[in-house]
Amino acid sequence: MIKAVMMLNTQGKPRLAKFYDYLPVEKQQELIRGVFSVLCSRPENVSNFLEIDSLFGPDSRLVYKHYATLYFVLVFDGSENELAMLDLIQVLVETLDKCFSNVCELDIVFNYSKMHAVLDEIVFGGQVLETSSAEVMKAVEEISKLEAASNSISLVPKSVSGWRGR
């Protein structure tokens, strides 16, 4: 099972973090910091795998990939294959690249909800759901199409009074 997906920039700022088991915010921050400090101490041209029991409990592995200013990180347990996880990162990046046409860090920051939509199509509740980036794209496009449609309708707010809550 996949335990967490993270995107950190090279300064250690989280750009996206998703944990598939609930963790309190402080714990999440601790883990993000821990992961980053491990990652930035890795020399270049070494393997992309890490055993990370010290942070995530026994039998936890981590696969990361460094793209430009971003680290893509997957944390998972022994029931997944490291090389396959590395390719899952590749799938994710390819999909994002198709999605934003030449993805960069800014896209990820500003399209937070879309990022999650893409991720949710690929990893679902900690399991790999879909690995064909074409399929993922299809689903995401359909979502944004429908969202855009419903959005244009609601450009004129139906009832502002509905929000007069307090």
Partner 1 sequence: MEQLKTIGRELAMGSQGGFGQSKEFLDLVKSIGEARSKAEEDRIVLSEVDILKRRLLEPDIPKRKMKEYIIRLVYIEMLGHDASFGYIHAVKMTHDDNLLLKRTGYLAVTLFLNEDHDLIILIVNTIQKDLRSDNYLVVCAALNAICRLINEETIPAVLPQVVELLNHQKEAVRKKAIMALHRFHRKSPSSVSHLVSNFRKRLCDNDPGVMGATLCPLFDLISEDVNSYKDLVSSFVSILKQVTERRLPKSYDYHQMPAPFIQIKLLKIMALLGSGDKNASDIMSMVLGDLFRKCDSSTNIGNAILYECIRCISCILPNPKLLEAAADAISKFLKSDSHNLKYMGIDGLGRLIKISPDIAEQHQLAVIDCLEDPDDTLKRKTFELLYKMTKSSNVEVIVDRMIDYMISINDNHYKTEIASRCVELAEQFAPSNQWFIQIMNKVFEHAGDLVNIKVAHNLMRLIAEGFGEDDDDADSKLRLSAVESYLQLISEPKLPSLFLQVISWVLGEYGTADGKYSASYISGKLCDVADAYSSDETVKGYAVSALMKIYAFEIASGRKVDVLPECQSLIEELLASHSTDLQQRAYELQALLALDARAVETILPLDASCEDIEVDKDLSFLNGYIQQAIESGAQPYISERERSGMFETTDYHPQDHHEVPTHALRFEAYELPKPSVPPQASNELVPVPEPSYYSESHQPISTSLVSERESSEIKLRLDGVKQKWGRPSYQSTTAASSTTPQAANGISTHSDAGVGSSSSKPRSSYEPKKPEIDPEKQRLAASLFGGSSSRTDKRSSSGGHKPAKGTANKTATVPKENQTPVQPPPDLLDFGEPTATTVTAMDPFKELEGLMDSSSQDGGSSDVMGLYSDAAPVTTTTSVDSLLSELSDSSKGNSRTYQPQTSKGPNTKEALEKDALVRQMGVNPTSQNPTLFKDLLG
User: Residues, the chain, total?
Assistant: 166
116 binds partner 1 per the rule CB under 8 A: yes
Query: Nearest approach, Cβ of 141 to partner 1 (angstroms)?
Result: 12
Q: Interaction with partner 1 in 2-41: which residues (CB under 8 A)?
A: 3, 9-11, 13-14, 16-18, 21-30, 34, 37-38, 41
With CB under 8 A as the contact rule, the residue among 5, 55, 74, 118 that binds partner 1 is 55
Tell me the residue type at 48: N
Query: Nearest approach, Cβ of 50 to partner 1 (angstroms)?
Result: 5
77 binds partner 1 per the rule CB under 8 A: no
Q: Which two tokens stand for residue 18?
A: 């998703």
Which long-range CB contacts under 8 A does 28-35 form with residues at least 24 apart? 31/4, 31/55, 31/56, 32/6, 32/8, 35/6, 35/8, 35/62, 35/73, 35/75
Query: Nearest approach, Cβ of 42 to partner 1 (angstroms)?
Result: 7
Q: Interaction with partner 1 in 80-99: which residues (CB under 8 A)?
A: 81-84, 86-88, 90-91, 93-94, 97-98
DSSP 5: E
Single out the residue of 90, 107, 112 nearest to residue 120, CA to CA. 112
Q: Which two tokens stand for residue 34?
A: 């821990």
- The smaller minimum CB distance to partner 1, of residues 10 and 73, is found at 10
Query: Nearest approach, Cβ of 73 to partner 1 (angstroms)?
Result: 14
Tell me the residue type at 91: V
